[in-house]
Amino acid sequence: MRFHFKTTYDQDIRLFPDWWTFGLYAALLAVMLILPWLIDGFFLGEVTNVLIWAVAGLGLMLLTGQTGQVSLGHSAFMALGCYLCVILMEAGVPFVAAFVLCGILTGVLGAIIALPALRLHGVYLAIATLALAILADDLIVILTPWTGGVAGKFTPEMTILGFEINRWANPASWYYLVLIVAVLVALIYRNLLRSPLGRAFAAIRDSEISAQAMGVDVAHTKAVAFGLSCAFTGLGGALMGLYAGAFNNETFNFLLAIQLLMMIVIGGLGFIHGAFLGAIVIAFLPQALSILSDQFGRAMSIPGLEMGVFGMILIAFIILEPMGLYGRWMKIRIWLELFPFARRDMFRRQKSYLKTERLR
C-alpha cells in the first residue's frame, strides 16, 4: 500500500496526487493513443462509441452525480447540440468552430430552460425534464425547415485544417477526434471539482439549506450546473449524430435520456470514472446480448430485451452496490492494498443521523 506523506498543499490541489497515479494515467493515455494500431477498425469504432457515450454521460454526471439534480430530459440537449452543430456547419462555419459553438449555445439555452425547472425537486424535476425530452421530438418535426423533420439530416463533410474526418475512409480520424473531446471534457470536469464551483455543486447535493448558509446562491449555482451539464451533453449529442451519419427526430428520443441516466448510475454516481465505466457497459451490452442470442437461438431475441436487461442490471446495482462499478472497483482496490488486513464491515457506513425536514 502507498502512503502519502504530504508536504505541500499543492499535493491536494494538483491533478494527480503522486507520480504513481500520474504514471498510471499517462500509460492509459499512451495506450489510447496507439490503439488504432492495436485493434481493427470495427473495434476502434466500438471504442469511439464508448467515448461518445462517456462525453454525454459526463454532462449528466455533473448534474445528477455532482449537483444531485435528476434529469430525464438530456436527450433533448443531445438533439439540440447535434442540430445546432450541423446547422452551423451547413451555414459554412468550420467544423471545430461549429462544434465549440454548439456546446456553448446548448449550455446557455440549457441554463435558461433550467431556471424555472430547477425550482422543482426530486421526482417533480424528473417529470418536468422528461416532458421536455418528449416535447423535443415534436419540436424537431415542427421546425422541419431547419431540422429536416422526419426526413432528417446527414452529416456534412467534416474537416479540421483541411484534414478530413471520415468514419468509413479513416476510422482512426474519428477515434482521435472523440478521444480529444473526451479528455478535454474530463479535464474540465476535474478542474471544476477542485474549484469552489465544484464544491458548491456537492454542497447543494447534500444540503441546500447549509449551502445557503455558507453563501452559495442555490438558484444561480443550479442553473450554472445545468448549463455546463447541457453543454457537455450537447457535445456528446453532436458527436453521436455526426458519427451516425444521419439522424432525425427519432434519433434522440427520450429513451436515450433514460439510458444515459441508467448508465451513470451503473457506472457510479459522482465519479468521472463512473461515466466511462457506464459507457462501456451501455456500448457493449448489445454485443454481449447478440452473442448470447446466437448461443441460445430464438428464445433470446425478444424485442426490448436490451432495455429490459439493462433495467435489471440497474436495479441490481441500486440494491447491491449503490456506488456503481467504480465504487465496487475502489473497494476491491482497497481490499488488495490492505491485504490481508481488510475487515468485512469496513465499508459499512455509520448510522446516519436524523435530518430535519422542518426548514423545507
Site string for another protein, 257-296 (x = CB under 8 A): -------------x--------------------------
d(CA 28, CA 227): 30
User: How many CB atoms sit inside 10 A of residue 82's CB?
Assistant: 28
Cite the DSSP H helix spans in 245-301: 254-267, 272-296
Q: How far is the CB of 272 from another protein (least distance, A)?
A: 15
HEC readout, 45-84:
HHHHHHHHHHHHHHHHHHHHHHCCCCCCCHHHHHHHHHHH
What's the closest the beta carbon of residue 77 comes to another protein, in angstroms?
Answer: 18
Per-position DSSP letters for 112-162, written without gaps between them: HHHHHHTTS-HHHHHHHHHHHHHHHHHHHHHTHHHH-TTT-EEPPP-EETT
CA 227 to chain CA centroid, nearest Å: 14
Nearest approach in angstroms of CB 79 to another protein is 24
150's CB contacts (< 8 A; 6+ apart) are 141, 144, 248, 249
Q: Which of 15, 17, 14, 22 is nearest to 3 (CA)?
A: 17
Closest CA to 323 of 274, 258, 259: 274
301 binds another protein (CB under 8 A): no
Segment lying near another protein (by CB under 8 A), choices 88-96, 153-161, 337-345, 350-358: 350-358
* Interface residue with another protein, options 180, 214, 316, 342 (CB under 8 A): 214
Among residues 90, 138, 164, 217, which is the contact residue for another protein, using CB under 8 A? Answer: 217
Q: Which of 159, 166, 170, 207 binds another protein (CB under 8 A)?
A: 207
| Complex with another protein: residue 7 or 350, whichever CB lies closer | 350
- Rounded Cα distance between 49 and 235, Å, is 14
213 binding another protein? (CB under 8 A): yes
Which is nearer to another protein, 168 or 353 (by Cβ)?
353
Q: Which is nearer to another protein, 91 or 354 (CB)?
A: 354
Q: Is 334 in the site for another protein (CB under 8 A)?
A: no
- Is 195 an interacting residue with respect to another protein (CB under 8 A)? yes
**Minimum distance, C-beta of residue 203 to another protein, in the bound complex (Å):** 5
Query: CB under 8 A: which stretch of 114-122, 145-153, 198-206, 236-244 binds another protein?
Result: 198-206
Member of 131, 156, 199, 300 binding another protein (CB under 8 A): 199
The nearer residue to another protein, 63 or 285, going by C-beta atoms, is 63
Answer for which of 150, 151, 180, 209 binds another protein (CB under 8 A) is 209
Contacts 24+ apart (CB under 8 A), 222-225: 222/67, 222/69, 222/114, 222/118, 223/111, 223/114, 223/115, 223/118, 224/111, 224/197, 225/62, 225/63, 225/66, 225/67, 225/69, 225/201
Regarding 210 and contact with another protein (CB under 8 A), the answer is: yes
| Residue 355 sits in the site that holds another protein (CB under 8 A) | yes
Write out the residues near another protein by the rule CB under 8 A: 9-10, 12-13, 188, 191-192, 194-200, 202-203, 205-207, 209-218, 224, 270, 349-350, 352-356, 359
